[in-house]
Structure 1
């Protein structure tokens, strides 16, 4: 759709770096794609230095800044001379109809600026002898351009929504079913996954529970940087790999070491986080290791909360060379509960992470008498914003 648009359309970052331009835009500009994409707009198209009264850069920059701030902006027909790419120093006098539109990302912030241009040089010259006709023509052209860009924006949002739906199906297929519980018996866990509300893409949050020999249980959660289908696909690869390594590794640290090496070969897995815990009910202890993830919490029967934060290392693939990851052990009493989660449950942009973790501990203490299923629901009710979270949330509540 973008390539086939009859109007010249380009996408820029909020910093005004070209991300993409369609064929019509490149033909109008007289440039090849490699001369535009990746460049600052006013490096690719500077003002004519021979015109002391040139204001094209100043006016276009002001309009683009308004669009980058979230405001749709239609410019009056603007003179902006262009330098011939095949004849440096030769400038053509040209007039443009320009519309700049913000395109919002999953978090509601401006992700791109859509720069729609149409050259009206010849039409203005032909209409120049009749000012009234020229004004009517310009007004009609601007109205048509505005309607065209509104349609493009709606189509882009529709494409995001379709991607979200597909990613949710893919993500659900790759995660253990939350109901019924994936484990039966004394270690039946309550698991929850909540996609972000009001966003057009899901993220790469995941969880897993693995039965190990001698009655032990491995539990893990992780978070992939990014959104949509790509993040969901990376999540599936990392989760499957960690499931396999937890079955054969000598502890969670060794499993995360192997996963970190594997992550280097997966595009999009850079800086993913994960934490793994192995519970041994016969010894009443657990061993854990974290790759840049938020610390799990151990809720004691009396309501005390201990954070599993003594074996934290950088995210997966972050080490320039292979290094062993730390591992720590902790004893627990019968009746304790282990809670693992992703950042969507507690992190808020306007507060320190220590405050967020303290809020989690307070909620756990207040609901210490609940069984896993109602406890999971209570945590979501207490900690997720009433108007919906802006990030995905994965939660595992495991009774010990």
Structure 2
């Protein structure tokens, strides 16, 4: 049974709260009637104009910070795709029709991203609730008390903003240290035919959600095979970077003596159970045998590697997938599968930041990867890796760090 046809534009206009839609460049696309009523503007004064041209800071107040704080929040939402509920803001507004006359106003803003099909932020929902009257009502019998209460709330809001700024700077410092540590622990290519491989690491944009991803390539000289792996530690920052380094080293060592990728992951699983913070890490390992043109692979809950043939056909290696490391209460062996490849094929291993987007099925991201890989398959490993990142990374940047390995077989 079909429901009624919903006029979402009418719903938007009827919302009791004041709401505006902004582009990522902070230009008004639409506002509802409550927003116009609250701001004292008409549609022609708002829609199509830059937010802070319509609502600048009070030039007569050297301590005014409304523009700076709101701009920082909106830019953060655009970069991360994560909603931001701001602390109480004092943001004075120029009285309509009275240039140079400003009203003291207090606002409680919430900024929410609207994501497009590729996971990029295409719109910003800016909802504001005015609390000026509430502040004044608290001191209705004493106008001096009302002003004092407003000043106190404003002062506390400023203090909270200062704390948030200090936290932001501390996070930025931790992010920088974690990234340096990550770079020091990820290996440089050292295979004899390294010109047939390319690796890339991209941190999340403007977020601390970095340093849990790794890659590894190992030449196995005893039998001429090559082992390649990628993994993703749950968590972020310095702790994730430390766990990542331990697991990458352990898997690299295990691959050198293991009979195949399943056995290497079994060793890593046992080791991960003794490492704090390694639980539920995902990883995938592929052993490449160029002598008989076969791939042996095993996955611990990780997105499947992609194999692109010379004709552009893309297959995902998903026939040997088991839970992440340490996810089972008891240790168990892991599955392994084998597949043939044609000379000139391309193998791509990656972490989930490359294909996963909020509120989107993983198959959509895998489809994007397959189409991009088929389109650029004739490029060398380095240009191919860069082309995949260009096609798959949203304009606003990644919300999770990403490791990528491309090998020409």
1:277·1:286 contact (CA, 8 Å) conserved in 2? yes
Unaligned runs of 5+ in 2: 1-82, 91-106, 113-120, 122-138
Q: Deviations over 1:9-35 (max 9, x none)?
A: xxxxxxxxxxxxxxxxxxxxxxxxxxx
Aligned residue in 2 for 1:397? 406
TM-score, with structure 2 as normaliser: 0.65
Shift of 1:135: 4.0
Aligned residue in 1 for 2:61? none
SS at match of 2:161: helix
Q: Aligned partners of 1:141 and 1:360: how far apart in 2?
A: 53
SS at match of 1:316: coil
1:187·1:398 contact (CA, 8 Å) conserved in 2? no
Give the count of matched residue pairs: 285
> Which of 223, 236, 248 is matched with 1:239 structurally?
248
> Which of 202, 208, 214 is matched with 1:200 structurally?
208
2:199·2:404 contact (CA, 8 Å) conserved in 1? yes
Shift of 1:69: 6.6
2:88·2:157 contact (CA, 8 Å) conserved in 1? no
Deviates more, 1:271-280 or 1:183-192: 183-192
Q: Deviations over 1:260-301 (max 9, x none)?
A: 111111111111100000111112111100000000011111
Shift of 1:133: 5.1
Shift of 1:351: 1.8
Q: Deviations over 1:75-108 (max 9, x none)?
A: 9xxxxxxxxxxxxxxxxxxxxxxx9999x9xxx9
Q: Deviations over 1:220-254 (max 9, x none)?
A: 00001111111111111110100011111121101
SS at match of 1:214: coil
Q: Over aligned residues, Cα RMSD in angstroms?
A: 2.7
Unaligned runs of 5+ in 1: 1-67, 76-98, 109-127
Q: Aligned partners of 1:383 and 1:135: how far apart in 2?
A: 53
2:209·2:400 contact (CA, 8 Å) conserved in 1? no
Aligned residue in 2 for 1:48? none
1:182·1:188 contact (CA, 8 Å) conserved in 2? no
Deviates more, 1:295-304 or 1:185-194: 185-194
Q: Aligned partners of 1:100 and 1:387: how far apart in 2?
A: 26
Q: Do structure 1's residue 145 and structure 2's residue 150 form an aligned pair?
A: no
Q: Aligned partners of 1:257 and 1:236: how far apart in 2?
A: 18
1:163·1:201 contact (CA, 8 Å) conserved in 2? no
Q: Do structure 1's residue 261 and structure 2's residue 276 form an aligned pair?
A: no
Q: 1:138 to 1:313 in 2, by over 3 A?
A: same
Aligned residue in 1 for 2:178? 167
1:182·1:189 contact (CA, 8 Å) conserved in 2? no
Q: How does 1:269-348 map to 2 (within 5 A)?
A: 269-348=278-357
Q: Aligned partners of 1:194 and 1:385: how far apart in 2?
A: 12
Q: Aligned partners of 2:353 and 2:360: how far apart in 1?
A: 13
Aligned residue in 2 for 1:123? none
2:87·2:160 contact (CA, 8 Å) conserved in 1? no
1:203·1:232 contact (CA, 8 Å) conserved in 2? yes
Aligned residue in 1 for 2:192? 184
2:208·2:236 contact (CA, 8 Å) conserved in 1? no
> Which of 84, 87, 94 is matched with 1:72 structurally?
87
Deviates more, 1:139-148 or 1:381-390: 139-148
Q: Aligned partners of 1:186 and 1:384: how far apart in 2?
A: 25
TM-score, with structure 1 as normaliser: 0.66
Q: Do structure 1's residue 380 and structure 2's residue 389 form an aligned pair?
A: yes
Shift of 1:186: 7.1
Q: Aligned partners of 2:255 and 2:246: how far apart in 1?
A: 14
Aligned residue in 2 for 1:209? 217
Q: Aligned partners of 1:312 and 1:135: how far apart in 2?
A: 64
1:291·1:314 contact (CA, 8 Å) conserved in 2? yes
SS at match of 2:315: strand
Q: Do structure 1's residue 366 and structure 2's residue 375 form an aligned pair?
A: yes
Q: Aligned partners of 1:143 and 1:368: how far apart in 2?
A: 58
Q: Aligned partners of 2:195 and 2:339: how far apart in 1?
A: 18
Q: Aligned partners of 1:141 and 1:256: how far apart in 2?
A: 58
Q: Deviations over 1:345-370 (max 9, x none)?
A: 11111321112111111111111211
Aligned residue in 2 for 1:38? none
